[in-house]
Each structure stands twice: as structure tokens, then as C-alpha cells.
Amino acid sequence: MKKLILLFTFLVGLFSVHGKVEIDSARLDAFMEGLIASKLTDNNIAGATACIVKDGEVILLEGYGYRDVEEKLPVNPQETMFRIASISKMFTWVAVMQMVEQGKLDLDRDINYYLEDFEIPDTFEEPITMTHLMSHTPGFEDIVLGLFAEDLAGEPLNELLKVQLPERVRPPGIHASYSNHGTALAAHIVEIVSGMEWNDYVEEYIIEPLDMHNTTFRQPLPEEMIDKLSKGYRFANGEMIEKPFEYVPLSPAGGATTTAEDMANFMRMFLQHGKFEDNTILDPATYDKMLEPVMYHAPMVNPCLYGFMDMSRKCQKIIGHGGDTFWFHSLMALMPEHNIGFFISFNSELGGGLYMDVLDIFIKHFFIKDQKLTEPAEFEKKYLKNFTGKYTPNRHPHSDYTKILSLINQTEISVKDEMLKTEIMGDVNYWLPVDSLIFREKHSCKILAFEQDDRGNITHAFKGSWPIMAFSRVPFYESQSLNVAVLLIAIIFSLVTLLFWPIVFFARRNYKPLRKTPKALPFNVKFTAWVAAIILLCFYIFLSFSIGDPDKVVFSAPPGSGMVFVLLLPFIFIILTAIMLYNNYKILAIKEFRLRSRLYYIIISIINIIAIFQMYYWNFIGFNYY
């Protein structure tokens, strides 16, 4: 009996050690100071702000580095305001659930029931509901044009959404695809059912009750807050370059500005199941609803939730949200099982992605001991080849010329030594099979899962800790290699046409043939092809300048005169190609012209037609922007 009691006591003690984590505040301060200082130095970041709450108390509230590099002004976590980008969405989802509590919204009703001055088209039989918007499963395309702005005219949400309404590209509830416009739609519906403009609503019912005195969605900032805002920076040529304020037209999806101290209150409200001090922001049952899974892409893949992102990793349950502008990069992560909230924000361009590194190191240091990895299964190499190919994120534009992003962001999956190999922007990972459609990263418990259709063909891939997006298998006509090959062939033949014919023309001016030879193609025939080559090369050159810089793309709403000019060139190219086809009809039967000249003219005409199809597929013919 004594042995059983001792065993029971040991097990209870063991459970307590792993179930209840005690964090010494002084040790935490020193740990975070060293960790973040190294991140700032190694990545040329001006400053950061952070807070950690546990059991309703703030156990870390610190600023690191500078909010103003030139003036050497340090970050103050109580007053220095950082842009938190998509963490703003959590305010929107709280507002939605408040309306649900009041009976003004039904999560499962067609959102067209609430919309007043525009409606969602019935592209698919299934209607889009608020549940779909909250879980990022409405089936919208992504829109990046005009995601940011250099200034803000203050257009109301309904006017912006009418102009920027994304196309429906898949039935709702099938796959998640992160949607800023879906969140903005939800906020606009809150405006309609509450009878209040978004800024007024969020201030009265969320920001003020949470004592978030240095938080706002207003753009530009209210006058009393301007001096508190941290500047954003880009590091270039060995120095920090101050960048202008980034306006977010769809403010409820990414326009909030706040401090670490205010975010502590926001996190405490969630960890206390919707309550803060004497205020009830959400009923506990409503908060619990937000944590329920809406959909799983695959087994062992984190589920889509009601608003929250399930970021569980390293065997720890984590919910929250990240947020990125060009110059600010932020993360709010909640660990409900430990009653811990974690917030961090960087104020420089190179901070992107670092917040997850900091979170992972924090978890590993204070929570993780040993991880037992799932034993791999054995499959023949022939079976593994079913998964190989190109995959692209399903979050990309479809209806405008930025559709080309799906071509740029493709991921290659191949087989290496009875494992799958993925390579994304130089980052190589190897994956061991643990089930027929599930793979584990070789040295960790990260998951890569797949989906197959009724015929057994692999159609999608999913990252285990990234439920907000699927990766679609790329058909051959969308493959990066094929499209690059078409591009290079078109460029090479255009350059040959552009350079060779003039050289031959001037070379032949100074001599006369000694005997009768086949005639060269008429000048007007060659001239048409020559001008077409110029137009095509100009299109490629100007296009690379117009979309090669992400700043120019996301700040374009609609594109400026430069892009309008670029999109005119394909029309001219089509007209010239049509003339070339007519010329082919005329010269093909005339044997007096050189055979090789006629064949070359046919080849470049065919290449031009293929180039036109490529332009059409990627939405470069016409004015494909809202």
C-alpha cells in the first residue's frame, strides 16, 4: 500500500511540474533582455516592445532599443505605440461575438442577409456565413492591390468593399485562405447591425472597457498620440532609414496601433474568459465558442477556429494572431493551459518572422523538456513520388495582374532518400512518412499533410501549425519552369529579331548579288515583326519594374499611370501579331522569298501567340484591377 501511495504522490508531483509552470520574473527579464537584444543586433532592428502576462498579472513589460533612432529615444512599453497589423482582426472578432451575444448576428446565416448596399454574388450554391469569415474559409481570392496606402481619404468601409470586393474562387468551408477583405466584411456587418461606425464602436465597447488608453484604429493617429508612435525603419547601406506611416484602408483588418501595456490588458481579458476587472467584454460561453474547431484540413493539422489562429507547436497549445506591415512585425500568443499571454512587436523591416523565433525559444527554455517523435512508417519510393511536384499557396489573387504571385511563390517537393524534401526560399526540410498522407519533419514534430481526390491524386498540402492556408498542387501550365521557359524563348527570339535583321539589312546595302538569289522578305513584313519584338521586350522590362517592388504593388489602388501604360502594351502587341499572321498568309505561298526567312517568320509568329496566351492567363491583357 505504501508503495502505491508513493507512486501516486510521484505521479501527482510529476503532473504538477509539467502542468503548472512557475516562471521567476527576474530570470525572465534577464532571459528576454539577452534574447531580444541579440535579435535586434543580428537583424539590424531599431527597437521592440514586449509583455508577458501570467495568472492575470503582468510578469514582463519591457521596451528594447529605440523608437526614434536619430533622436536616440528609447522604447517605453507603457507609452510607445507600435502598429500591430493583423492582430487588429482579434478586435473585429470580439465585436462580432458581442453582436452574436446580443442576438443581432447569427454565425450560420448568409451574410447577404445583413449587407445593405451591395451583396456577395452567388458564384457557388453554398452561401458565405460569418463562421466562414471568422475561420478564413469563405473561398475568396486574395487582393493585394491597395492593401496599404500612402495617405487615407477616409473612405467608409462599405465604399471600399464595393470597389474591392474579392471574387469567389472556391466553395466556402472547403479550404482556408487568409482573407483581409473577409475580416473587413465582418467589421462592416458589425457597423450595420450596431448602427455605429467602426472606430466609434471599437472604442466604446472594447478599447475603453479594457483601459487601453494608448490604442486606436484611427488613421492618422489622434493628435495627442502622434508623439507616442514608434517610427518604422528599413536598414539599407549601413544605416536605419525612417519610413512613413503606413495607412491601412481596411482598418479593422490591420489598422490598430497600441502599446505593450495595453496589449497586456487585451490578453488578460482573453485568459480570463472575456472578463477584465469589473467589465465583461465577452460572456465565458462566447469566449469558449471562439476556441471551438470550425474545420480541420487533415489529421494532425491545427484546426481553423472562430477568429483565433491555432498556432500550437512544440506540443504546446497556443492560440493568438500575428501581424505584419512592411515596417512593424507583431505577435500575440496565448497559452491557455498555462494561463500565459505573450506579446512582442518589432519596428523594423527585418523583424518579419522573428517573433515566431522568439516565441519558440521562450517555449523551449521554460516549457519543453524532451519531445517524443512519432515513429516513421515505411513506404516505397514509388509511392512517395505521388507527392512530388510544385505547390503554391491558395492565398493569392485571381482576377487581376497580381495573380503572377502564385507563380513566384511556388514550392518544390521532391523525394530524397525515402523522405520528402521541401525547399522554400533556400530553406530545405526533410519529411518522414508517419501515415499514408501525413509526414513529420525529420528532427521535430512539425507536420506536413496532404489531401487526395477521389481518384487518389494528390491535390493539396497543409502545414501542421499553419491552418489559415492550403497549398494547391500546381498544374503543368502554371508551373514556374514552363512559364519561365516561355518567357526566355520569347525574349531570345525578340532580341534576335530586333538585332539580326537590322545588321543584315545594313550589311547587304553595300553589295549586289552576283547571280539570282531568293528575295528577302519585304520591309513592311519585317518591320511589323521588328516593332512587335520591341513592344514585347518593353512590356517585360516595364513589368519587372512595376511588380518587382512589393511596395509599389500593395500601395497601388488603382495602379498609377505607369502600370496603365504597361497594360496598354499587350493590346498593341496583339494588333501587330494579327498583322504578322496576315503577312504569313501572304508570303507563305510565294516561293521567291527565302524559305528560311518564311520559316523564321512563322516561328516568331507562333511564339508571339504563345506569349499572348501567357499574358492572358496571368491577367496582363486589359485593365485587370479594381
Q: What is the pLDDT of residues 139-159, one digit of tens each?
A: 999 999 888 888 876 688 999
Give the DSSP letter string of 324-374: E-SS-EEEEEEEGGGTEEEEEEE-BGGGTTHHHHHHHHHHHHHT----PPP
Looking at per-residue pLDDT, the higher value among 24 and 354 belongs to: 354
CATH code (residue 402) = 2.40.128
Instruction: Decide: 253 and 88 in contact? Cβ < 8 Å.
Output: yes
Triad 250, 255, 257: Cα angle to 5°: 170
489 and 470 together in one domain: no
Structural domain total, the chain:
3
Instruction: Examine residue 193 and state whether it is found in any structural domain, yes or no.
Output: yes
pLDDT at 426: 67
499 and 440 together in one domain: no
pLDDT for residue 380 is more than 90: no
587 and 460 together in one domain: no
pLDDT for residue 102 is more than 50: yes
pLDDT for residue 513 is more than 70: no
Instruction: Decide: 418 and 391 in contact? Cβ < 8 Å.
Output: no
Of 242-246, 386-390, 543-547, the poorest mean pLDDT is in 543-547
106 and 175 together in one domain: yes
Average pLDDT of the chain, as a whole number: 89
pLDDT at 409: 85
Q: What is the pLDDT of residues 585-626, one digit of tens each?
A: 888 777 777 788 889 999 999 999 999 999 999 999 876 654
Quick one: pLDDT band at residue 397, thresholds 50, 70, 90? very high
The x, y and z cell numbers of residue 170, run together, are 472556391
Instruction: Examine residue 623 and state whether it is found in any structural domain, yes or no.
Output: no
Task: Out of 442, 474, 506, pick the residue that ends a domain.
Answer: 474
Instruction: Examine residue 1 and state whether it is found in any structural domain, yes or no.
Output: no
Q: What is the pLDDT of residues 263-317, one digit of tens each?
A: 999 999 999 999 999 999 999 999 999 999 999 999 999 999 999 999 998 778 9
CATH code (residue 182) = 3.40.710.10
pLDDT for residue 395 is more than 70: yes
pLDDT at 553: 75
Instruction: Examine residue 424 and state whether it is found in any structural domain, yes or no.
Output: yes
pLDDT at 567: 84
pLDDT for residue 59 is more than 80: yes
pLDDT for residue 330 is more than 50: yes
Of 293-302, 318-327, 330-339, 517-526, the poorest mean pLDDT is in 517-526
501 and 572 together in one domain: yes
Instruction: Decide: 239 and 110 in contact? Cβ < 8 Å.
Output: no
Q: What is the pLDDT of residues 6-15, one digit of tens each?
A: 333 333 333 3
Quick one: pLDDT band at residue 18, thresholds 50, 70, 90? very low
What residues make up the domain containing 511?
478-617
Instruction: Examine residue 373 and state whether it is found in any structural domain, yes or no.
Output: no
438 and 545 together in one domain: no
CA-CA distance, 240 to 32, in Å (whole number)?
A: 23
Residue from 589, 588, 608, 610 nearest 598 by CA: 588
CA-CA distance, 436 to 380, in Å (whole number)?
A: 11
Q: What is the pLDDT of residues 451-498, one digit of tens each?
A: 999 999 999 999 998 999 999 999 999 999 999 999 999 999 999 998
pLDDT at 425: 61
Instruction: Examine residue 6 and state whether it is found in any structural domain, yes or no.
Output: no
Identity of the amino acid at 464: G
Instruction: Examine residue 214 and state whether it is found in any structural domain, yes or no.
Output: yes
Instruction: Examine residue 561 and state whether it is found in any structural domain, yes or no.
Output: yes
DSSP SS3 for 452: strand
CA-CA distance, 231 to 228, in Å (whole number)?
A: 9
CA-CA distance, 101 to 95, in Å (whole number)?
A: 10
386 and 332 together in one domain: no
Residue % of the chain over a pLDDT of 70: 90
451 and 492 together in one domain: no
pLDDT for residue 527 is more than 80: yes
Residues 410-435 have a mean pLDDT of 88
Task: Out of 341, 366, 391, pick the residue that ends a domain.
Answer: 366
Task: Out of 448, 474, 500, pick the residue that ends a domain.
Answer: 474
Helices (H), 509-560: 523-547, 550-554
Helices (H), 386-479: 405-408
342 and 427 together in one domain: no
pLDDT for residue 133 is more than 80: yes
Residue from 415, 396, 393 nearest 404 by CA: 396
pLDDT for residue 515 is more than 80: no
Q: What is the pLDDT of residues 65-89, one digit of tens each?
A: 999 999 999 999 999 999 999 999 9
pTM: 0.91
Looking at per-residue pLDDT, the higher value among 507 and 36 belongs to: 36
470 and 510 together in one domain: no
Instruction: Decide: 538 and 572 in contact? Cβ < 8 Å.
Output: no
Q: Which residue has the cell 474579392?
A: 166
483 and 466 together in one domain: no
pLDDT at 4: 37
pLDDT at 559: 57
453 and 501 together in one domain: no
